[in-house]
Structure 1
Amino acid sequence: MYIPAHFAVPDAEALHRMIREHPLGILIANTPGGLDANHIPFELTPDEGEHGTLRAHVARSNPVWQEVKDGDEVMVVFRGEEAYVSPTWFPSKHEFHKQVPTWNYKVVHLHGKIRIRDDERFVRGMVARLTRTHEASLPKPWKMSDAPADYIDTMLKAIVGIEIEVTRITGKFKLSQNRELRDRLSLGEALKAQGDIAMGQATLDAIGETKA
């Protein structure tokens, strides 16, 4: 991934936070049939291993778990907020007319070595943790014990666990950090005004981070 210096994210915690907030990753693997991409919700354990560990599961009917071998190199991409940026939102455009449209976004790439975990204990624990995490904000969280035990057993047999030892993590938060302060402020407010609240706030937050 091409990362100009002003869009680089050296803060590992900021990258981990984005993954927690946007856990649906794209698992990219080089299989016998060519490059393959699967969209999977991941669990990140940042303090396990040198750069963290990712865990997830795929359907047993998904051939990817049989097409990769333990130790194969894979990449997982996580995408956060994104939005189109109009040059009309920059005050400098109206003064100098030297702005063009662009797209702002937040992405994190993780490279690592995959391991297939086809065992019931692994997938049961992982599914339980994912469930607790993503049900926590609901008024009445669902839990695995809400369903009949034999039904859960059947569902768990239909999935296969995967584990990725992260060997490299990079992030790119393209939030117009290379533009004038007045343009960045205007952009943040314009995005919020049109309903891109998260991206607008991320743009404004990045101003304080740059100053710091």
Structure 2
Amino acid sequence: MYIPKAYKEEDWQQVEFLIKKYPLATVVTYTEDEGVIANHFPFFLKVDESTGKKYLHAHIAKVNPQIPSLKKADSVLVIFQSANTYVTPSYYPTKKETHKFVPTWDFASVHIKGQAEVLDDFDFIRTQITNLTNQQEDGREDPWKVEDAPEKYLSLKQKAIIGLKIEITGYDAKYKFEQGMSKKDIGGVIDGLAKDGLDELSELTKTSNDRYDTKKAAKSG
């Protein structure tokens, strides 16, 4: 992934934020026999407290044709991406003075490299389903729980899926939210996004630039 210096995010906490906030990821595999295959799975991030190793857990349909390449590939690529938006030049206050602006597109993305393991294990799959459900139901007034469904029904549904565990071996993170622009123009984008009802992206722009400024100050100090 191409990452200009201003957009490079090395803080693991920001990677973790993207995985938990936007858990649906694109999984890319390649083998000589099958070529490139991509699918989309929601993941739960699991950290082994005893070893510090990090894993992505998911469940997928047993009939998914990507399973053979997940078993054979030396490594897999998992791509998480935030909400994203077109940025109009009209957001920038300086546009009125110079008109030297063009549209852009703002987003955050994490590319994770890892080793995949396909697990036909009842307990692993049930735990993964429970963890992901609890994560997504958190904050709801009346959160749904896996055990709310009849066990016989759950077991029947579970027969059609298989577990996927990916050990994270590396990552690259990109947060592209106007870093390097003038304070006035960054403020214009933050305000413009909010006025257009894109509060989530407005906040991402604000927090990304706050971190960028903090890192710049630390290096200069």
TM-score (norm 2): 0.90
Alignment correspondent of 1:30? 30
2:57 counterpart of 1:55: yes
Residue of structure 1 equivalent to 2:46: 45
Give the gaps of 5 or more residues in structure 1.
none
SS at match of 1:40: strand
1:76 aligns with 2:83: no
Structure 1, 31-40 or 51-60: larger mean CA deviation: 31-40
1:157 CA displacement: 1.0
Q: 1:8 Cα shift?
A: 0.4
Matching residue's letter, 1:190: G
Q: Which runs of 5+ in 2 are unaligned?
A: 215-221
1:177 matched to which residue of 2?
179
AA at the equivalent of 1:21: K
CA distance in 1, matches of 2:182, 2:19: 29
CA distance in 2, matches of 1:125, 1:17: 21
Q: Do the aligned residues in 2 keep the contact of 1:70 with 1:113 (CA within 8 Å)? A: no
Q: Secondary structure at the match of 2:60?
A: strand
Quickly say closer, same or farther: Cα 1:199–1:47, change in 2 above 3 A.
farther
| Shift, 1:70, TM fit | 5.4
CA distance in 1, matches of 2:48, 2:98: 48
| C-alpha RMSD of matched pairs (Å) | 1.7
Q: Name the count of aligned residue pairs.
A: 212
How big is the shift at 1:83? 0.8
User: Which of the residues 101, 104, 107 maps onto 1:102?
Assistant: 104
- Residues 77, 109 of structure 1: 8 Å contact kept: yes
Conserved 8 A contact 1:117-1:163: yes
TM-fit CA distance, 1:47: 5.0
1:81 is paired with a residue whose SS is: coil
- Give the TM-score, by structure 1 length: 0.93
